């Protein structure tokens, strides 16, 4: 329920900002962010402590708590529906277009009756946006460039949007009885700007308990398959997710394999073959005997490489650098010393 509520609260924030309401938009945005970061579903929080428990969430006052309660009980918020009637536009679809903020959404609707991203694209390609005061050719070009990017990345998700829920899911899985270890892999672990799906790897003495929990989580929209060691679901946020339960001796090999990327793995397997090994998601083998697999570190070490952060795994010279212990250092939060912002009056609106 959290992600559904976050989406609605963010839309309320934008709609209020469009109407020129002061302070409230920031309050709704703050609450949306707080709920996005929660590890527990708001419905469970409400069940345990009622509206008072909701008020303990950062930024939630009595007014917003009552609206959350209304959504939990009735699966709707009347004020939100009223705002949508006043401005019947696809806030979610339009606001992800770079440069399209609340004021622009209002102008687009008032001047050209644009409600959706498809309508915005058609208007921009037809050169109609220039008819709006303050809009120029650069505005149209920037909007079309952003829409083209969104089309290219269709079916993928912005990392920053999904990461809070991914972390919350993995943390919940770690607390399931019998679970010894749980990690996410894939493009999410490589910290790619956009990600396709979620892979979770688990070591557990009670695989059936993990599978039961995984397919019944509140974040689940649909269950594709449920097995003894692998289950597949679709999350309410739109992303597909797989969970695999592995033996401890293969966990590192699986983590390396499912982290990728594809071309890094192909190159690593070729190197393993040249050295007389076979590398797959179960381990590093020599003459059918497992030589490494419990950790990623021992696999890379056995093949003559230093372990490398997932962010570097793209077959762009990282293996050669790892062999020579010359891997670059990743930029960390502590390396940031400021945020440079430049203002200019060079604009066409």
Q: What is the pLDDT of residues 29-81, one digit of tens each?
A: 999 988 987 878 899 999 999 999 999 999 999 999 999 999 999 999 999 99
Instruction: Tell me how far apart the alpha carbons of residues 242 and 225 are, in angstroms, rounded to a whole number.
Output: 9
Q: Is the pLDDT of residue 233 over 60?
A: yes
Every domain range in the chain assigned CATH 1.10.150.110: 2-152
What confidence tier does 19 reach under pLDDT thresholds 50, 70, 90? confident
Taking only the tens place, the pLDDT of each residue in 88-120 is 999 888 988 888 888 899 999 999 999 999 999
Quote the pLDDT of residue 302: 97
Quote the pLDDT of residue 333: 86
Quote the pLDDT of residue 349: 43
Q: Which of 8-12, 46-50, 159-163, 253-257 has the lowest mean pLDDT?
A: 159-163
Instruction: Tell me how far apart the alpha carbons of residues 259 and 174 are, in angstroms, rounded to a whole number.
Output: 19
Domain 165-245 coded CATH 3.30.460.10: yes
The arrangement of secondary structure in 250-323, i.e. its CATH architecture, is: 2-Layer Sandwich (3.30)
State the pTM of this model. Answer: 0.64
What confidence tier does 341 reach under pLDDT thresholds 50, 70, 90? confident
What confidence tier does 179 reach under pLDDT thresholds 50, 70, 90? very high
Quote the pLDDT of residue 312: 97
Every domain range in the chain assigned CATH 3.30.210.10: 250-323
What confidence tier does 166 reach under pLDDT thresholds 50, 70, 90? very high
Q: Is the pLDDT of residue 345 over 70?
A: no
SS (H, E, C) 296-311: HHHHHHHCCCCCCCHH
What strands, in cross-sheet order, belong to the sheet with 278-280? 278-280, 283-286, 289-292
Quote the pLDDT of residue 99: 84
Q: Is the pLDDT of residue 225 over 80?
A: yes
Torsion angle (degrees, nearest 10) of CA 120, 123, 126, 130: -110
Strands 289-292 and 198-204: unpaired
How far, CA to CA in Å, does 125 sit from each of 105, 131, 311? 17, 13, 37
Q: Which of 222-231, 279-288, 336-345 has the lowest mean pLDDT?
A: 336-345
> What's the whole-number mean pLDDT along residues 137-142?
89
Every domain range in the chain assigned CATH 3.30.460.10: 165-245
> What's the whole-number mean pLDDT along residues 149-165?
82
Please state, for a pLDDT cut of 90, what percent of the chain lies above it: 71
Taking only the tens place, the pLDDT of each residue in 267-324 is 999 999 999 999 999 999 999 999 999 999 999 999 999 999 999 999 999 999 999 9
What confidence tier does 346 reach under pLDDT thresholds 50, 70, 90? low
Instruction: Tell me how far apart the alpha carbons of residues 294 and 119 are, in angstroms, rounded to a whole number.
Output: 53
**Cα angle 14, 81, 116; round to 5:** 55
What confidence tier does 136 reach under pLDDT thresholds 50, 70, 90? confident
CB 17 within 8 A of CB 33: no
Please state, for a pLDDT cut of 70, what percent of the chain lies above it: 98
Q: Is the pLDDT of residue 135 over 60?
A: yes
What confidence tier does 134 reach under pLDDT thresholds 50, 70, 90? confident
To which CATH superfamily is domain 2-152 assigned?
DNA polymerase beta, N-terminal domain-like (1.10.150.110)
What confidence tier does 263 reach under pLDDT thresholds 50, 70, 90? very high
Q: Tell me the residue length of the chain.
A: 349
Provide the token pair at 307.
Answer: 């372990």
């Amino acid at each position: 329920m959290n992600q559904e509520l976050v989406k609605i609260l963010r839309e309320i924030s934008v709609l209020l900002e469009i109407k020129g309401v002061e302070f409230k938009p920031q309050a709704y945005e703050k609450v949306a962010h707080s709920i996005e970061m929660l590890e527990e579903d708001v419905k469970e929080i409400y069940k345990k402590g009622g509206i008072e428990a909701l008020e303990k969430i950062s930024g939630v006052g009595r007014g917003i708590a009552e609206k959350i309660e209304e959504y939990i009980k009735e699966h709707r918020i009347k004020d939100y529906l009223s705002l949508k009637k006043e401005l019947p536009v696809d806030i979610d679809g339009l606001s992800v277009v770079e440069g399209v903020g609340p004021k622009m959404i209002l102008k687009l609707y008032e001047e050209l009756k644009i409600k959706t991203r498809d309508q915005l694209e058609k208007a921009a390609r037809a050169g109609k946006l220039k008819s709006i005061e303050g809009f120029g050719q650069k505005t149209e070009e920037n909007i079309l460039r952003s829409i083209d990017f969104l089309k290219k990345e269709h079916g993928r998700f912005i990392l920053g949007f999904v990461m809070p829920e991914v972390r919350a899911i993995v943390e919940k899985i770690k607390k399931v009885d019998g679970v010894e270890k749980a990690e996410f892999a894939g493009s999410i672990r490589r910290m790619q700007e956009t990600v396709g799906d979620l892979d979770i790897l688990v070591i557990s003495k009670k695989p059936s308990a993990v599978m039961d929990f995984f397919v019944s989580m509140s974040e689940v929209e649909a269950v594709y398959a449920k097995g003894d060691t692998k289950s597949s679901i679709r999350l309410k946020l739109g992303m597909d997710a797989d969970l695999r339960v592995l033996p401890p001796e293969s966990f590192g090999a699986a983590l390396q394999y499912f982290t990728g990327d594809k071309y890094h793995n192909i190159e690593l397997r070729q190197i393993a073959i040249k050295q007389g090994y076979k590398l797959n998601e179960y381990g590093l083998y020599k003459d059918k005997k497992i030589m490494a697999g419990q950790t990623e570190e021992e696999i890379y070490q056995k093949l003559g490489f230093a372990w490398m952060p997932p962010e570097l795994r793209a077959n762009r010279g990282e293996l050669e650098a790892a062999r020579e212990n010359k891997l670059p250092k990743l930029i960390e939060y502590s390396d940031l010393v400021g945020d440079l912002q430049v203002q200019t009056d060079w604009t066409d609106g």
